[in-house]
Amino acid sequence: MEKQTFSIPNISCGHCVMAIKNELSELKGVKKVEGSPVDKSIVVEWESPATFQKIKDFLKEINYPAV
């Protein structure tokens, strides 16, 4: 299982974090998503078939691009 912290400047509140959690949880292979509106970041744990690039692309697709 892999784990990565993504910095997402678009996060402005807890609702943003929940939206990201709900969307990413539907991505096959994503096991856990936690986030912080204060840090403007999320931590994602995943396994195959999810990949770092798939998650990053998906975040861009839902208007929360990681930097």
Average pLDDT of the chain, as a whole number: 96
Name the DSSP class of 13: S
Q: Is 28 exposed, middle or buried (0-12, 13-18, 19+ CB in 10 A)?
A: exposed
Return the CATH number of the domain spanning residue range 2-61: 3.30.70.100
Q: What is the mean pLDDT of residues 33-48?
A: 96
Mean pLDDT across 7-22: 95
Cα–Cα distance measured from residue 32 to residue 4, given in angstroms and rounded to the nearest whole number? 11
Q: What pTM was computed for the model?
A: 0.93
